[in-house]
Amino acid sequence: MNIATTPAVPFYQPTGRECALFRSAHDNGLPLLLKGPTGCGKTRFVEHMAAQLGKPLFTVACHDDLSAADLIGRYLLKGGETVWVDGPLTRAARTGGICYLDEVVEARKDVTVVLHPLTDTRRTLMIDRTGEELRAPKDFMLVASYNPGYQNVLKRLKPSTRQRFLSITFDFPDPETELAVLNSESGLDAARAKPLVRLAGYIRRLSGMDLEEGVSTRLLIYAATLMAGGMGVDQALEAAIIEPLSDEPDVQQSLRDLVATVYG
C-alpha cells in the first residue's frame, strides 16, 4: 500500500474528457471505475488527479490474498499493548482522501461486500472489529481499476458492483499523445522516440494472436529511458520490450524481426 501526499503534479497527457469527469465525480461524491489494459496510464491518471485536487492518495495494489481486513484495519501488538490500526480504506474515509484499488478484481470476494455501502447514498464503512460505523466525508472518493482483457469466470467484477461506479474506458494513447508522454517521462528526443511509437503500433496489432496483450506505454517509457541514457537501441528494446512481452523463443524472434523492420 502506498500513500502519496506530495504537492507535485505527475505528468499526464489527457486523451479526452477524463479529467473533467474525475473532477465532477469527486465533487459529487461518486465512485469511479477505470477500465483498460495494463500500462495504459490508469494509475498515473489517478496520481495526477489526486495531486491536482490536493488530496492524499491511498493506493492499494490488489492481489489474491487481499482481504477486507487489509483495507479496513486490524488490531496489532505495539509496545506490549494491543492497538487498533486503520487500513488504507479507513484512513482515506476518515481524512477525506482518495482510495485507489488497483486491479480490484484480484482481491478476495469479501472486499466488494465492504465497498458496497461506500458506493451508494450511505457512504458508510462498517468496522466490525471496533463496532464503529464510519460515515465518509464529502471529500472522500473511491476509485478502482481493472483490466477487462484478463477477466475470467472466477475473477469477474459482478454487475451489481460494476453498476455502483461511474466508468471510464482507457486504451493506449494515440501516436502523437504517446510521443509527448515518452518525451516528458524519459527525455528522449522526438526523432528517436517516433520509431518506438511506430513499433508499439505494430506490436499492438499482433495482440491476441501471438501475444496476450500489446506493449504498454510503461514499457515504451522504460525503453526510451534506457536509450536516453546512452544504451543502444537493440539492447534497450531487448530488455524493455522483447523479454518482458514473451518467454517464447519464436515470439521473441518475431519481435526482433519487427524491430529490424522499423529500425532498418
For the stretch 201-244, pLDDT in tens is 999 987 655 787 889 999 999 999 999 999 999 999 999 999 99
Cα angle vertex 44, ends 41, 45, to 5°? 80
H or E segment at 199? Answer: helix 190-204
**CATH code assigned to 2-169:** 3.40.50.300
Which of these ranges, 14-28, 32-46, 169-183, 210-224, has the smallest mean pLDDT?
Answer: 210-224
- Report the C-alpha gap between 105 and 145 in whole angstroms: 8
How high is the pLDDT of residue 211? 80
Given a cut of 80, whether residue 5 has pLDDT beyond it is no
- Report the C-alpha gap between 259 and 203 in whole angstroms: 10
Mean pLDDT of 63-81: 91
For the stretch 140-179, pLDDT in tens is 999 999 998 765 545 678 888 899 999 999 999 999 999 9
For the stretch 134-145, pLDDT in tens is 999 999 999 999
Domain extent listing, the chain:
2-169, 175-263
* C-beta neighbour count of 16 within 10 angstroms: 10
For the stretch 76-101, pLDDT in tens is 988 888 999 999 999 999 999 999 99
DSSP 150-188: G--SSS---HHHHTTSEEEE--PPPHHHHHHHHHHHH--
How high is the pLDDT of residue 19? 97
Cell of 56: 492524499
How high is the pLDDT of residue 206? 79
- 241 near 211, Cβ under 8 Å? no
